[in-house]
Chain A
């Protein structure tokens, strides 16, 4: 059967036969790197056109419909435009940091790809602290925003960066706590273990209301962490023109833009892995016939389907809600989300100890 793991294994075998182990490892790393960059480019194109179409339909518009069939090549044309545009570094900016910031954003996004299981047995690095790694590395994102805002020598950028700093630091907490709920239930930080534990049902169904609350908290927190509306205070178009990337143009802007979308993809992939079973097909208890039918659908389709569903939800938020104010944003976190997820974690822990979940 055609599957990602099959291809990966074939390739590994062929490489091991042809080259010595060190060279094999190096070649595999290069292939993985190229694959990640390719995935980035692909995701950028797909997510941008998806966002534009979703927003258009929600706003009673048609959306892009000129370039390519039904406008599907619009984002490709936009990319070409951004590539040939001049990347201007403003006079008075800290040139080194200004040019460094977009790359930090991209590197963080790339690092986050490592523990994500895209299909059955298809994962770059199944480390034993997978979930912890994700929450640790994703915090570095804020540094790139802070650098970008500070080095631009622009007050709008600086304010956007400062807002973003306060926001991401706060929302890490409830994102982490809601992730912990699943870790407590599974008893493992390893991504493959977490997926395996959902063989007989996804956590969102098995875990009763506490896991649903954790899921909702997670979605809200990651929306804030990725600076998406209604928490897009770092950009806040109507207040700060474009926030931390006001001064960026051309490809450097495109990197920030791409990093935002890739981050959205990653957090949604994590959400899908933790709460919706990752690549695990939809199984219902002992209905073996039904479960077999579900198994026929390739695992990668399950994974991408769930991830894109969550991405759609986050886009849905963006095109419905007005933006919060900075103090309300912090109020929401410290007065509502954090207490709720803390109590929720206690409940989940009790549930895990007493084995109340299915």
Chain B
């Protein structure tokens, strides 16, 4: 009985445990095993009643040293490892690496391969946002949307499975193009998916977006100002929710994004609801991109001719893409050999997580879960 109060008081008095030294503070460990963190993230939360005073993320529970692993693999081999960083946009991660290698090799990518890559990128983005939507609703206590989101996501996974041979870690992109040509069923399946999506999309509004409880939980919560978004290095939907234009597809277009018609989705409110709406609207922009491309896949090679053993010239190369979570940067330093001398990944999740303490202070414990949901954290992406 007494022990309980002692523990609580001790922690709050001890600054090394996250306490502020005031009595009445409650230190709670959220994670590494916790339903809301969706992975092995450990948050040390200082609470005053229900109000959050401080959030301290502790990382490293799923650190697999991917950067170091990549340094011992050849330029063809290291791409597959990056699928395991942000496993929900694994295709886009592979894309970023391939772009960087191609920059060093100075190869021209055939137009067909470019279109296939972009199509797959956008499908991955939709799949990732679908999963986020379901998990987000589940964080807020609504379980049903999770299964509804998975229905649409499942048809994307089927498309991926048919063309790439895997559902989650596709490893479909190789330096110079894609590994295999599109499956003959690809176009029909994508069209069927888009029809399904358009038929079901109003349910997202009915179940979650329009719901008064949901809106009250999301609006005016977790405000992130544009200045803070920039200074914390946020990217992707997290920053765009604060009105910071940072879509890599628009400002540093790669592949054929500069020839496509799509809007960079921006919201100005900067709260959780804005970040939520960004992703919902981004899915429609992705659908728009797919609609433009699906009937216009150029004929030709799906892979450029490359040497059997790839060697990057001496120098450093940087490429960046827009994943479902934000900007992914790949930085390769080459000494001219078959393996990279150093690889650095600038992962979106890491920077987006850093903002959590800033936006969570002063709000309720229940809101923390909602905010983490809107940051769309994938823990292996943070730790790498």
Contacts and interface: CB of A to CB of B under 8 A. Distances in A.
Interface of A: 55, 58-61, 92, 94, 153, 155-156, 159, 163, 229-230, 232-233, 236-239, 241, 319-328
B148 interface: yes
B147 interface: yes
Contact of B50 (A153, A156, A232, A326): A326
A27 B28 CA distance: 52
A326 B216 CA distance: 12
Nearest to A166: B50
A321 B26 contact: no
Contacts of B138: 238
Contacts of A239: 36, 365-366, 368-369
Contact of B141 (A159, A322, A328): A322
B3 A153 contact: yes
A60 B217 CA distance: 26
B277 to A, nearest CB: 16
Contact of A321 (B7, B27, B213, B365): B213
A236 B366 contact: yes
Contacts of A322: 137, 140-142, 208, 211, 213-214, 217
Contacts of B144: 55, 58-59, 319-320
Nearest to B137: A322
A86 to B, nearest CB: 20
A323 B35 CA distance: 15
Is chain A's interface secondary structure helix, strand, loop, or mixed overall? Answer: loop
A304 B216 CA distance: 36
Given A60-B148, A320-B142, A322-B141, A241 B217 contact: no
Given A94-B1, A153-B7, 7 more contacts: A155-B26, A159-B365, A230-B213, A238-B138, A241-B34, A321-B141, A324-B216
Q: Which of B28, B147, B213, B217 has the most CB of A within 10 A?
A: B213
B194 interface: no
B241 to A, nearest CB: 19
A159 B50 contact: yes
B367 interface: yes
12 contacts: A59-B143, A60-B151, A92-B4, A156-B28, A159-B28, A230-B213, A237-B141, A319-B143, A322-B208, A323-B366, A324-B213, A325-B364
A327 B35 CA distance: 22
B147 A61 contact: yes
A84 B38 CA distance: 30
B196 interface: no
